[in-house]
Amino acid sequence: MTWSTVDIPTLTGRRALVTGATSGLGYETAAELLRHDATVLLAARNADKAAATADRLAAVTGRPRPEVVALDLADLDSVERAAKTVAEHHDQLDLLINNAGVMAPPHLATAQGYELQIGTNHLGHFALTARLLPLLQAAGEPRVVTVSSFMHKTVRGISQGDFRAASGYRKWDSYGKSKLANVLFTLELDRRARAAGSHLLSLAAHPGYASTHLQTAGPVLAGNALEARVIGGFTKLVAQSAAAGAWPSLYAATAPEVRPGAFYGPSFFEYRGAPKEVTPTRTARDPELARRLWEWTVEATGVDAF
């Protein structure tokens, strides 16, 4: 497949909310949506950084300044407040890009006591999607794009105990499970939407190996400056740019030909290049595991969709 951002159709009249848009993939995703005339909402935890990012995006794209929405995905109360804020100001939402994430931090917990990676990458985005569902349903052609990773291939399953890392914490194992949860959620949301007769499209994407701050954030949180420098240097040497890493998300969000429930990643061994449809692992395609994960997640978040 040959595809680049020049192939994105005009998005005039379409409203998109992007999580984690202050840097990396989220920033590049928001910038391209703006350049193609979408109205963009930036959902971010750091209010000052989000405001500065909104100013920068307006300057570099020449488009209207994005709206900032306060959102901490590691706090389910913050997720509820953010969704209410969006609903107070907008009657529909066309695109939800579940992009934000944390990678391999030391053992930390969310506000509700869940392991930080599962809590942020999966539980927070599930709750946000569920709470914004009425606005999505009000749109003509709504899409939810959830950003996963090829790291979902490194784990063989997920259990309810993993929500709190009950059997011990291994940072890369927990990261892989959070990314597996992203794919399971995407496919189960697709199944439930179609069963309900909804016109919502649920899609997943992954960036391959893209150079963002995500690779060094975990070592920085752990106070390991040497590890952060080594990983950062290696990433800059071999990874594709954050802008290129955002292509699969942008393709899933905007391409007319996307298939419901599809997963998109880079074309060159899922490492870099133009987006194409890729295949999740057999575990990620397990509908029974997805159903159980959905039930556990509803119990954890107190909110459901479909």
Catalytic residue among 78, 114, 148, 249: 148
For 83, phi and psi rounded to 5 degrees?
-65, -40
**Structure token pair of residue 278:** 């890729």
Catalytic residue among 171, 179, 249, 267: 179
Catalytic residue among 27, 78, 114, 175: 175
First-to-last C-alpha distance (Å) of the chain: 34
Q: CB 287: neighbour CB atoms within 10 A?
A: 11
How far, in Å, CA of 212 to CA of 140, rounded?
33
Q: What DSSP character marks residue 107? A: S
For tokens 């995500």, the residue is: 214
* Active-site annotation holds for 179: yes
3-state secondary structure of 101: coil
Q: What angle do CA 238, 241, 242 make, to 5 degrees?
A: 130
* Active-site annotation holds for 175: yes
Sheet of 263-268, strand order: 67-70, 39-44, 15-19, 95-98, 143-147, 201-205, 263-268, 272-278
| Nearest one of 65, 69, 71 to 34, comparing CA atoms | 65
- Environment class of 143 (CB within 10 Å of its CB; exposed 0-12, middle 13-18, buried 19+): buried
| Residues annotated catalytic, as ranges | 148, 175, 179
